[in-house]
Amino acid sequence: MPGEDAPEHRHTQHAFRFVVEGSGVWTVVGGDPVPMNRGDFLPQAGWNWHAHHNATAEPMAWIDGLDIPFQYVTEAQFFEFGRDEITDAERITPERSRSERLWGHPGLRPLSAVPASPGSPLLSYKWEYTDAALRDQLLLEKEGFGGTVEPGHAAVRYSSPHDGSDVLPTLRAEFHRVARGAETAPVRETGSSVYQVFDGSGVVTVGEKSWTVGRGDLFVVPSWEPFSARSESGTTDSDSGALDLFRFSDAPVFEALKLARTQKDV
Amino acid sequence: MPGEDAPEHRHTQHAFRFVVEGSGVWTVVGGDPVPMNRGDFLPQAGWNWHAHHNATAEPMAWIDGLDIPFQYVTEAQFFEFGRDEITDAERITPERSRSERLWGHPGLRPLSAVPASPGSPLLSYKWEYTDAALRDQLLLEKEGFGGTVEPGHAAVRYSSPHDGSDVLPTLRAEFHRVARGAETAPVRETGSSVYQVFDGSGVVTVGEKSWTVGRGDLFVVPSWEPFSARSESGTTDSDSGALDLFRFSDAPVFEALKLARTQKDV
Amino acid sequence: MPGEDAPEHRHTQHAFRFVVEGSGVWTVVGGDPVPMNRGDFLPQAGWNWHAHHNATAEPMAWIDGLDIPFQYVTEAQFFEFGRDEITDAERITPERSRSERLWGHPGLRPLSAVPASPGSPLLSYKWEYTDAALRDQLLLEKEGFGGTVEPGHAAVRYSSPHDGSDVLPTLRAEFHRVARGAETAPVRETGSSVYQVFDGSGVVTVGEKSWTVGRGDLFVVPSWEPFSARSESGTTDSDSGALDLFRFSDAPVFEALKLARTQKDV
Amino acid sequence: MPGEDAPEHRHTQHAFRFVVEGSGVWTVVGGDPVPMNRGDFLPQAGWNWHAHHNATAEPMAWIDGLDIPFQYVTEAQFFEFGRDEITDAERITPERSRSERLWGHPGLRPLSAVPASPGSPLLSYKWEYTDAALRDQLLLEKEGFGGTVEPGHAAVRYSSPHDGSDVLPTLRAEFHRVARGAETAPVRETGSSVYQVFDGSGVVTVGEKSWTVGRGDLFVVPSWEPFSARSESGTTDSDSGALDLFRFSDAPVFEALKLARTQKDV
């Protein structure tokens, strides 16, 4: 809500924020103010100090993803409070965080910086880049050069510019765009996924069940349940005229431990 | 020169092009036309088909870097000619290559593509991004947040968006910007480097020798010779008002074989 | 018990057997009969067919370690039954399994074999080698050349001869020997451990509690609880005159996910 | 020769010794005396102090392999002399070096030791283990369980017990045994190999040329030349009744730099 603050703290849990509505809040990570706007993805590797502040007069909504269940069962959790107040210098709202100015140039790594902890050193993946990447893939497909996962299905994975790995050691995040009228082939995978319908509408099928989804809906795909999605977006109800799905999952856990399995012909 | 073609071929040598003057030529890599303009860096991993064509009425100049000496002594060279002619569809000059449309979005990897061979899947690192990254580093330093290698010395390494590694298995490429009046501390390293003065002017010191350099000059820093550079750029003779140095070296060979050494207090 | 069989099956769970009493049973892994004797450690990576048979007239006891809880919470479990009967050729009791004949020569890898699945290709770590390695470490210490973790504390980790990693992707196994009169310094670690007192006797301290243990006892060290052990073994009650502890833990999970922490000055 | 010493020194070149005749000399590596006997393989990673001493009244012969040509062309060489005299404590001739007592137990890694430099921490690979591993492979083949590279062709690679990699960052070493009457299929590879006929006799073919070889012969297989060997060993002229070949090559350089190629159907 407007004017709200979250005090500075840090925890071993890896976390991210994906902004679903509004803009104006920023989060301060290790002293670096990171602006937040609809569609932005902000990874936050464990054990970094962070705080939040809403500098605007509007409410705002985001998805907070943390690997709390995993760290709970494995008894690996640590937590500390930080300073009571962040400084005025940290209360500014820059257009780009310092992390983006260091790590946000495609294929260019700063010689001055080596990430000190696991997880991406890039603290914000702005919507405009995600949107452009998906648009490019669908255009490449239309020109006859592939680029999509399958016909009408564009997808990117948020990754660390340091080493190309998942943005967080235990969490994977992706964005999928299904063009109007297209349908993805059923796939089953070990690991659980959460989807948020960022834009558009359509029908999703998980195992034996199908249902209609629209902007703002959240749904879960449990481990090893076949999943597919069909876009029935209209041109009006969607920025891209497509079914836009934000996805996060615990796939890195399965891959790190050699437990990952995928089956495409379900 | 205007209208010139180089026929399609491929070789095991890893190579790159760094454009020092002009624009209008493009290179076709695996059927993907890649435009070339001053300041652009184009890596070209071994064993990819490629050809060149100058579509303009102007001459153009670039540095061609290959690991021929290394592959010669190790007897690892292979070469093949390809098609006699490239197709008309490949003769277009797009603003962005297909590789950039797939891999040029910061921190976003296409789910459709897994690089088939070693080396970066991004075939062009455009000057505008390199320039912006260096400018950002010097501004961050001015604001008191570090970001540079040392005072007045910004630097980026061209890296693979797939895994963050060097763009080519045997060649490293970097761009260094030394602000007007600044001087880098002497460093000695195993491995040889070639520098091109892309812009500005100054004095470089290699071992016991110092000399003045200006735009367009090339010089070599042999293995284990201490190197430093001082910028004496004027505001007029340089795009950035700084000494801009493109660098390439065989450092990945030394690192892969655990032979790399660096000494900073020379 | 004598004559008992366990039918052939396979599962995704990684497992091991550590033999605490008796001998004569063997296990058949992918058609390879592996003999089992007191002190032997047998890792069994997931998804390998295996069966057991007790060919002797004596009962026998071993510890079966599986990563069932971990795979349960992550919903990654798969199971299949195999053949109803193993063949007569598999019912022989060789002195060494075929895996040992291929992979049991120190520092020598067979050119013919590349492990097809994660986990150690060596299916048995015989007690005589474990015992010899621990004895060597204590002798090196006595001669003044180190070799032990700390005074009087020898330890080995069972590892894959293929790549030196833990024997199983989710499970670590070690053997610790504390010389008579010696005491280990308290250490706390993320991840849970189970210890079996293979031989000797002494006092163990976990967190605030201490108690006496002897041959055959099992105890647990929960995540982040400080642990130390003091040997009070007599010369008669122990093969080695020391406190011999078999240990297994889920440390590889924590390391793979960058969640591992250790604190030595508790 | 008897009584000869080589003074203590160290260099960046990675090196090994393979003993072809005699016994009694030992080498001191970082203060650890390592005995040398016919058939033993001793890797010696760069930048370790070492010295040699012949404590017997007999001459002795070994192959000294170093990566001098490679380090010469890459200008990566460093060299230092050490103490003038080694101590009396280092002049003893133990049956096993300390490195073997720590690292020579199959599949067991000492918790006390982490290798400080690249290359194997195991400083001696004794002939008796190499011989046993090759014998085991040929017996497994005879029993119908594979284990050899191809019929009648057993082979092991000397590897680091720390991580399973080649014993030295730039050098690979293997031992091949071709059973009497067997012949290896032609293979071509990038990288050059040197073979020493340790025992037995036969015919080798390199490219278009074939010739007869016997115990003590050395020959070279240049990069990309097809190679095969046929054993014509008699039962009397060979310890194993086979053609025994020690081999070393620069394959790790090619693999590290993604330049390795192999062709089996020449």
pLDDT digits (tens, 9 = 90+) for D141-167: 999 988 999 999 999 999 999 999 999
pLDDT tens, A67-99? 766 666 666 667 777 777 777 777 677 889 899
Q: In this predicted structure, what is the pLDDT of residue A72?
A: 61
Counting one residue from chain C and one from chain D, the pairs whose CB atoms sit within 8 A come to 144
Q: Judged by CB atoms within 8 Å, which residues 151-170 of A form the interface with C?
A: 169-170
Q: Are B71 and D253 in contact (CB under 8 A)?
A: no
Q: Do D101 and C139 touch (CB under 8 A)?
A: yes
Using the predicted structure, report yes or no on whether residue D90 has a pLDDT greater than 90.
Answer: no
User: What's residue A237's pLDDT?
Assistant: 61
What is the greatest pairwise CA distance in chain D? 57
Query: Using 50, 70 and 90 to split pLDDT, how confident is the model at D238?
Result: low
DSSP letters along C62-89, please?
EEEEE-HHHHHHTT---EEE--SS--GG
Instruction: Give me the sheet containing A227-231, strands edge to edge.
Output: A209-214, A201-206, A227-231
Looking at residue D127, its pLDDT comes to 95
Band of residue D73 on the pLDDT scale cut at 50, 70, 90? low
Chain C nearest-CA distance from A82, in A, is 21
Q: What is the pLDDT of residues B71-121, one digit of tens each?
A: 666 666 667 777 777 777 776 778 898 899 999 999 999 998 877 778 899
Using the Cβ of C260 and the Cβ atoms of chain D, whether some distance falls under 8 Å is answered with no
Answer yes or no: do A158 and B125 touch at CB < 8 A.
Answer: no
Nearest-Cα distance to chain B for D152, in Å, is 30
Q: What is the mean pLDDT of chain B?
A: 87
Q: Which residue of B has its CA nearest to A131?
A: B105
Which residues of chain A neighbour B158 with C-beta distances below 8 Å? 107-108
**Across B129-136, average pLDDT:** 96
Same fold, C5-103 and C127-263: yes
A interface test, pick of C160, C224, C257, C263 with most A CB neighbours within 10 Å: C257
The CATH code that applies to domain D5-103 is: 2.60.120.10
> Which is the CATH superfamily of the domain at B127-263?
Jelly Rolls (2.60.120.10)
Confidence of residue B260 (pLDDT cuts 50, 70, 90): confident
pLDDT exceeds cutoff 70 at B143: yes
Which of the listed ranges A6-15, B84-93, D16-25 does the model predict with the highest average pLDDT?
Answer: D16-25
Contacts of D160 (CB under 8 A, 6+ apart): C107, C164, D115, D119, D120, D121, D122, D166, D167
pLDDT at residue A139 greater than cutoff 90? yes
Shortest CA distance to B101 belongs to which of A161, A136, A176?
Answer: A136
Q: What is d(CA D226, CA D185) in angstroms, rounded to the nearest whole number?
A: 9
Give the helix ranges, DSSP H, for chain A: 68-73, 98-103, 127-142, 251-256
Q: What is the DSSP letter of D90?
A: G
Q: Which pLDDT band, with edges at 50, 70 and 90, does A246 fall under?
A: very high
Please list the residues that pair with B204 across neighbouring strands.
B211, B229
Q: Which residue has the higher pLDDT, A16 or B230?
A: B230
Question: What backbone phi and psi angles, to 5 degrees, belong to C265?
Answer: -100, 80
**Which residue from D minimizes the CA distance to B259?**
D76
pLDDT at B250 over 80: yes
What's the Rg (C-alpha) of chain C?
19
Q: Residue D201, SS3?
A: strand
Report the alpha-carbon angle D32-D33-D34, nearest 5.
110
Residue D86: name the closest of D11, D27, D42, D36 by CA. Answer: D27
Q: Is the pLDDT of residue A46 over 90?
A: no
Q: Residue range B53-57: average pLDDT?
A: 72
Residue B83 to residue A34: CA distance in whole angstroms: 51
Q: Do D74 and B170 touch (CB under 8 A)?
A: no
Q: Does residue A77 sit at the C interface (CB-CB below 8 Å)? A: no
Cβ-contact D161, D103 below 8 angstroms: yes
Please report how many Cα atoms fall inside a 13 Å half-sphere around the Cα of residue A98, on the Cβ side: 21
Select the residue of C71, C78, C254 nearest A74 (Cβ to Cβ): C254
How many residues are present in chain B? 266
Q: What is the pLDDT of residue C49?
A: 76
Q: How far apart are CA D90 and CA C26, in angstroms?
A: 46
CA distances from B25 to B11, B15, B40, B55, D171 (A): 21, 17, 12, 6, 43
Q: Which two tokens stand for residue D95?
A: 């049956």
Q: Are A118 and A145 in contact (CB under 8 A)?
A: no
Q: Considering chain D, what percentage of its residues have pLDDT values greater than 70?
A: 92
Kindly state the tokens that stand for C133.
């390695």
Say yes or no for a CB contact (<8 Å) between B105 and A159. Answer: no
Identify the three-state secondary structure at position D103.
helix
Strand partners, C157: C174, D109
- Residue B24 touches partner D, C-beta closer than 8 Å: no
Residues of chain C with pLDDT under 50: none
Backbone angles phi, psi at C68, to 5 degrees: -60, -50
The predicted structure's pLDDT at residue B68:
66
Mean residue pLDDT across chain C:
87
Residue D96 and residue C145 in contact, taking contact as beta carbons nearer than 8 Å = no
Residue given tokens 């053997």 in the structure block: C175
- C97 at interface of D, judged by CB pairs closer than 8 A: no
Separation between Cα atoms, residue C235 and residue D9, nearest integer Å:
46
Is there a contact between B98 and A140 if contact means CB atoms under 8 Å apart? yes
Show which subunits contact C, needing at least 3 CB pairs below 8 angstroms.
A, D
Q: What letter would DSSP give residue C190?
A: S
Is D192 within 8 Å of chain B by CB? yes
Render the burial of D141-174: b for 16+ CB within 10 Å, e for the rest: beeeeebbbbebbbbbbbbbbbbbbbbbbbbbbb
Task: Give dist(CA C62, CA C1) in Å, integer.
Answer: 12
Nearest Cα residue in chain B from D47 = B259
- Pairing relation of β-strands C172-179 and C201-206? unpaired
What letters, b where the CB count within 10 A reaches 16 and e where it falls short, cover B62-98?
beebbbeebbeebbbbeeeeeeeebeeebeeeeeebb
In this prediction, residue C72 carries a pLDDT of 61
Average pLDDT, chain A: 87
pLDDT for res B237: 61
What are the chain C neighbours of A256 within 8 Å (beta carbons)? 256-257
Contacts of C103 in chain D (CB under 8 A): 106-107
The answer to whether residue A4 neighbours chain B at the CB level (below 8 Å) is no
DSSP A39: T
| Every domain of chain A and the residues it spans | 5-103, 127-263
